[in-house]
Homo-oligomer: A and B are copies of this chain.
Amino acid sequence: MEKREIPDIIVSRLPVYLRALRRMQAQNQQNTSSQELGEQVGISAAQIRKDLSQFGEFGKQGTGYNIVFLIGKLCEILRVEHVWNVALVGMGDMGHALARYQGFHDRGFRVAVVFDNDPAKVGMKVGEFEIQNTNEMVQAIREAGIKVAMVCVPASVAQAVTNQLVEAGVKAILNYAPISLSVPVGVKVQYLDPSIGLQRMTYYLD
């Protein structure tokens, strides 16, 4: 399996399949079909079969997919069979919400360190975390070997924070700041911008 040969668009669908399978698992379901999975995620059964076939033969004619087996395979492919430590930068409202977010549980991530540049916040506790000063960020992230970060700072400082994260060795950034970030080749960015999510739908409204 050559990673570079799989189109990004296919990779981007795998976490959606995984989320739906986990939900079936939570309801004690044993098996599923590409039809059923497709209905749950709004993607055609043929597309799902084609996507999964890029990585191997995971289903059986007649019985479909064993849910536990397919979850295991997807976790392996997405490299979330173990838990990634995540650095969280910017402890405003969104940062606080993410620090306490329950949806990382069992999905491969754990907020491990949190940072803010506001002296009034540094040293404060947020749940189990003590907010650290961003001027210690590069060293702290490098020493902890953290590769994944979430950026929840204002747009005006998001690029500067990103540059520091890259310097510290971070390779994957989930960006909540409403700005496109420049990163070197080999560093990935995903955007969670609610305005963009909304604008992608208003186009279709009457």
Residues of B within 8 A of A93 (CB): 96-97, 100-101
Query: Counting CB contacts under 8 A, is A19 at the interface?
Result: yes
Bound CA span A104–B189, Å: 21
Centre residue among A80, A96, A196, A205 by max chain B CB count within 10 A: A196
Residues of B within 8 A of A77 (CB): 203
Residues of B within 8 A of A188 (CB): 200-201, 204
Q: A42-B180, A97-B96 are in contact. Are A201 and B193 (CB under 8 A)?
A: no
Are B96 and A202 touching (Cβ within 8 A)?
A: no
A contact residues, range: 35 or more
Query: Counting CB contacts under 8 A, is A103 at the interface?
Result: yes
Bound CA span A39–B181, Å: 10
Are A195 and B40 touching (Cβ within 8 A)?
A: no
CB distance from A56 to the nearest CB of B (A): 15
Copies of this polypeptide in the complex: 2
CB distance from A93 to the nearest CB of B (A): 4
Bound CA span A195–B102, Å: 10
Are A103 and B190 touching (Cβ within 8 A)?
A: no
Interface bits A128-168 vs B (CB < 8 Å: 1, else 0): 00000000000000000001101000010000000000000
Bound CA span A96–B98, Å: 12
Q: A40-B180, A79-B203, A97-B96 are in contact. Are A198 and B20 (CB under 8 A)?
A: no
Are A84 and B202 touching (Cβ within 8 A)?
A: yes
Query: Counting CB contacts under 8 A, is A86 at the interface?
Result: yes
